[in-house]
A = this chain, B = another copy of it.
Amino acid sequence: MMIDFSLYVITNRDLSRNKTIIEVVEEVIQGGATIIQIREKNLPTRIFFENAQTIGKITKKAGIPLIINDRLDIALAVDANGVHLGDEDLPLKYARKVAPHLIIGYSAGSICEARKAEEDGADYLGVGSVFSTKTKIDAGEAIGAKKLEEIKRAVSIPVVAIGGITLVNLPEVIQSGVDGVAVVSSIIGAESPFQATKKFRFTIDYLRKGKIC
């Protein structure tokens, strides 16, 4: 499966307004998300599994890859496309050993961390936080768009920018040359996740065509 990282939407039940994660996922797929990550902390394993299984059916039908945050066991059990890890999760090398063929993403906030993750077998990187954010994304201090560009240049695997990305700062993020942008609160916490996704997707596509320069 070729992965389109352009608009990487991350779920978080705490940010959803009276909507289940499943309803939100359906909306963001309709709106043009190219990849979905389920990031739900402190759910009992069975509940996380059941949600992931339901979402997996939706993403499969839509032809959209599904990534599970942290829980390699759930990723494998629901046959998700990948797992996203950070420094509080399983070490990359061990996850790779357990799951040789799974897509494994890793969070990085510096050139050093990015290169280490690439060496350890990451398939892509989540780099940030680009801007400051209240959403906990295992991403530390805000690094800014310039640093993001440096990290993107320092590795050869795809880079997804994450952290505080909005329609306003999207141009400088896209111009850094990253392969995609990860969005949590600006989409999941929006009144209409569908409309928010549509706007992000439209703006990304527009910026990529270079029409803004």
- Interface mask (A126-164 → B, CB under 8 Å = 1, otherwise 0): 000000000000000000000000000000000000000
Rounded to whole angstroms, the CA-CA distance of A200 and B78 in the bound complex is 41
For residue A4, give the distance in angstroms from its CB to the closest CB of chain B: 27
Query: Which residue from B44, B74, B76, B88 sits with its C-beta under 8 Å from A46?
Result: B88
For residue A15, give the distance in angstroms from its CB to the closest CB of chain B: 21
10 cross-chain CB contacts under 8 A: A45-B88, A45-B90, A46-B90, A49-B91, A73-B76, A74-B90, A77-B91, A77-B94, A77-B97, A77-B98
A 70-112 contacts with B by CB, 8 A: 70-74, 76-78, 87-91, 94-95, 97-98
Contacts of A45 in B (CB 8 A): 70-71, 88-90
Contacts of A78 in B (CB 8 A): 94
Contacts of A90 in B (CB 8 A): 45-46, 49, 73-74, 77
Rounded to whole angstroms, the CA-CA distance of A71 and B42 in the bound complex is 13
Are A46 and B98 neighbours in the complex by a CB distance under 8 Å?
no
Contacts of A44 in B (CB 8 A): 88-89
A 25-76 contacts with B by CB, 8 A: 42, 44-47, 49, 70-74, 76
Main secondary structure on A side of the interface with B: helix
Contacts of A46 in B (CB 8 A): 87-91
Rounded to whole angstroms, the CA-CA distance of A45 and B89 in the bound complex is 5
For residue A171, give the distance in angstroms from its CB to the closest CB of chain B: 36
Query: Which residue from B47, B73, B88 sits with its C-beta under 8 Å from A98?
Result: B73
Contacts of A73 in B (CB 8 A): 71-74, 76, 90, 95, 98
Rounded to whole angstroms, the CA-CA distance of A2 and B129 in the bound complex is 49
For residue A70, give the distance in angstroms from its CB to the closest CB of chain B: 6
Q: Can you add 20 more A-B contacts, CB < 8 Å, to A71-B73, A78-B94?
A: A44-B88, A44-B89, A45-B70, A45-B71, A45-B89, A46-B87, A46-B90, A46-B91, A47-B88, A49-B90, A49-B91, A49-B94, A73-B73, A73-B76, A73-B90, A73-B95, A73-B98, A77-B90, A77-B91, A77-B97
